[in-house]
Amino acid sequence: MTKVRRRNRTRMVWLTASSFFVLTMGAQLSNAQITNAVKANIGHRFTVGNATLPPGHYTFRMLQGSDMTAMTVTSADGNTSADFLVREATAPSTPKHAELVFDRYGTHEFLAKIFEGNSKIGEAVVEPSREELRLQKQGQHPVEHTEEQQQ
């Protein structure tokens, strides 16, 4: 076999193996995050991003065109909404129902994570709000609590 043929063959094997790896990883990542809308009844005021929302019924979903890096929350009546950045998060155990995880500082509640039912992989809010940063600078520490959502 000549050097040129050997080099072309090596390139073809490398390209095939690389393509297979990229396709396999892409399929795993696309299955790893929230794909369905998560409906929640939240009985307290909460902050997500820099928006504070009143108690009520909300729907959380991935923001279209965001490459799975942003979510939107919308109230049931459609009058209230907020967009926020997210990253992948892993729950300590697989929840049976959708779960929302909040960080509580006194009476202030900040959305921290969202998980679909039957999936250990969910989303975590990327950036703390200005209010949460202010409370942290004051030396306050959050208490994490989880709210299971029956759908």
CA 23: distance to chain centroid? 22
Phi, psi of 84, rounded to the nearest 5 degrees: -155, 150
Query: Is-contact 145 102, C-beta < 8 A?
Result: yes
- pLDDT (tens digit, 9 = 90+) per residue, 98-146? 999 999 999 999 999 999 999 999 999 998 999 999 999 999 999 999 9
The DSSP secondary-structure symbol of 18 reads H
Going from the C-alpha of 25 to that of each of 21, 22, 28, 32, the distances in angstroms are 6, 5, 5, 10
pLDDT surpasses 80 at 16: no
Find residue 36's DSSP bridge partners: none
pTM: 0.76
Q: Where are the domains of the chain?
A: 1-31, 38-149
Q: Lowest mean pLDDT: which of 31-45, 51-65, 120-134? A: 31-45
Chain CA centroid to CA 108, Å: 21
Measured distance CA(102)–CA(96) in Å, rounded:
18
